[in-house]
Chains A and B, each alone.
Chain A
Amino acid sequence: GQQLNQSPQSMFIQEGEDVSMNCTSSSIFNTWLWYKQDPGEGPVLLIALYKAGELTSNGRLTAQFGITRKDSFLNISASIPSDVGIYFCAGQIRGGADGLTFGKGTHLIIQP
């Protein structure tokens, strides 16, 4: 089946720093999504990308859908303590009526 390679696995940063993480795939996905998971909770959608080349922002978060449809990145600017958590990329082939294929996650730890 499809696999998403997400990197880095973990990041230890100082508050206020910018963060960048990415996902690559050997297969094409027609929708890319970024989720965040807090301890003891389910993943929550941060940003959804529907077109190749699309660049979308949500507050301090910016994500891009790669032109080849095989990759995506997520940037977080000026990190704050509540950004701590696990960030997952996910892809869909057929859009909304389709299960999600997830990356293994990036664990973000922020030192004050």
Chain B
Amino acid sequence: DAGVIQSPRHEVTEMGQEVTLRCKPISGHDYLFWYRQTMMRGLELLIYFNNNVPIDDSGMPEDRFSAKMPNASFSTLKIQPSEPRDSAVYFCASSLGRRARSKSEETQYFGPGTRLLVL
């Protein structure tokens, strides 16, 4: 399996621009998670989906952030307008969740991340 795929791997943009991050989960996984990593705050959960439906978006910082999952193999995280404080590494992860036959199959697998720099 190719694992979780994220694109782009690096993004540099100017303040005020729209940024779209993309994620393809592992085939067959029905849970998808978006995390953000910064030096100050560490790794934080932003939002997660089950069967393409957002379950918990309480970690989304503000209305400038939105996430969608139009189908089981694709999700986007959009920031509009972007600000310098949004600079971070954004990770996508997927898991079998409750469809797992054992606890060990519930593991969340992380993508390589998108490094975002907003100037």
Residues of A within 8 A of B (CB): 31, 40-45, 48, 50, 88, 95-97, 99-105
Q: Which residues of A contact B91 (CB under 8 A)?
A: 42-43
Tell me what chain A mostly uses at the interface: helix, strand, loop, or mixed. Answer: loop
B43→A88 contact, CB < 8 A: yes
B42→A96 contact, CB < 8 A: no
Given contacts A42-B113, A97-B31, contact A48 B43 (CB under 8 A): no
CB of A10 to closest CB in B, whole Å: 13
Question: Of B59, B96, B100, B111, which contacts A99 at CB under 8 A?
Answer: B59
B19 contacts the other chain (CB 8 A): no
Interface 1/0s, chain B 62-99, versus A by CB < 8 A? 00000000000000000000000000000101011110
CB of A51 to closest CB in B, whole Å: 10
CB of B42 to closest CB in A, whole Å: 5
User: Could you tell me how many residues of chain B have their Cβ less than 8 Å away from some Cβ of chain A?
Assistant: 30
Residues of B within 8 A of A (CB): 4, 31, 33, 35, 42-45, 48, 50, 56, 59, 91, 93, 95-98, 100, 103-113
A-B contact count, CB below 8 Å?
A: 60
CB of B117 to closest CB in A, whole Å: 15
Question: Of B33, B93, B104, which contacts A48 at CB under 8 A?
Answer: B104
> How distant is the Cα of A95 from the Cα of B43 in the complex, in angstroms?
18
A99→B48 contact, CB < 8 A: yes
A97→B50 contact, CB < 8 A: yes
* A105 nearest in chain B by CB position: B42
Q: Which residues of B contact A95 (CB under 8 A)?
A: 103, 106
B103→A97 contact, CB < 8 A: no
B103→A40 contact, CB < 8 A: no
* A101 nearest in chain B by CB position: B45
Name, among B50, B56, B108, B111, the residue most crowded by chain A CB atoms within 10 Å (CB to CB): B108
> How distant is the Cα of A102 from the Cα of B43 in the complex, in angstroms?
6
Given contacts A99-B56, A104-B42, contact A45 B108 (CB under 8 A): yes
